[in-house]
Amino acid sequence: MEQRGVVLIGGGGHALVVAEALGESAEVVGFFDDAPDAPLRARFGYERLGPLNAIPPEIEAYFMLAVGDLALRRRLLAGPLGGARTFGITHRTASVSASAGVGRGVFIAPHAVVHAFATVGDHAIINTGAIVEHECVLGENVHVAPGAVLGGNVSVGRDTLVGLGSRVLPGVRIGVGCVIGAGAVVIRDVPDGATVVGVPGRMRI
Ligand code: JB2
């Protein structure tokens, strides 16, 4: 397999998971993070290239977003990473349908499933063991957290977090910039910017 150098953006917990999933498919050439003692350095020994505000405006290397905070990811994409080349990862234990469409810079974690004719927007995170059923449509920079399940034909707007272990019933439409709390069961559509918690899911004002 061709080896490529990748710069990770972030050096915290999510970066550990991304770095491990990269495995042998790419070489990590270093990372940017504000913390000099970020876990990625301590645990993997990768070189910290500088704080996040030192990312060069026209970074030449392939980058992979490796922070979890969706607002921070969005700011970085709107700023220094705007025109840069990005690297995506599908872990070897993930199952991605041949008919699914997966955008640029997407991270598909171990044991995640992306089923038939689903589409996943650029820079989304399909985290450990998450299930994205048939024909779901996920926008850019969506995070489907570990163990979350989206039934068939669910749509999720950009910059939305679908929290740990939550469930979304088939056909439900979730807006832009929403937060679905851990363990929630979402049974009806969710407007832009809403937070939904509980079983059945209720909007929190
Ligand atoms: O504005 C900021 C910021 N600026 C720099 N907000 C946040 N949240 N983080 C910022 N950072 C840098 O990102 C920090 O210096 C820190 O090193 C890194 C975030 O690391 P942390 O381990 O706190 O979180 P993470 O983003 O790597 O992982 C989160 O998201 C994952 C998806 C955690 O909640 C994980 O548990 C989760 N799996």
Parts of the chain belonging to CATH 2.160.10.10: 88-193
Which pTM value belongs to this model?
0.96
CATH number 2.30.42.10 given to 88-193: no
Largest CA distance in the chain: 50
Position 99 pLDDT exceeds 80: yes
- State the pairing for strand pair 95-96/179-180: unpaired
Q: Would you tell me which CATH number, out of the four given (3.40.50, 1.10.10, 2.40.50, 3.90.550), belongs to the domain 4-78?
A: 3.40.50
Parts of the chain belonging to CATH 3.40.50: 4-78
Residue closest via CA to ligand 1's atom 7 equals: 69
Q: Say if residue 167 is exposed, middle or buried (CB neighbours under 10 Å; 0-12, 13-18, 19+).
A: buried
In the reported structure, the alpha carbon of residue 16 is separated from the centroid of ligand 1 by a whole-number distance in angstroms of 11
Any idea which residue has 């939550």 for tokens?
166
Quick check: is 134 catalytic? yes
DSSP 8-state class, residue 71: H
DSSP H stretches of helix in the chain: 13-22, 39-44, 70-78
User: What pLDDT is stored for residue 151 in this prediction?
Assistant: 98
In the reported structure, the alpha carbon of residue 135 is separated from the centroid of ligand 1 by a whole-number distance in angstroms of 31
Average pLDDT, the chain: 95
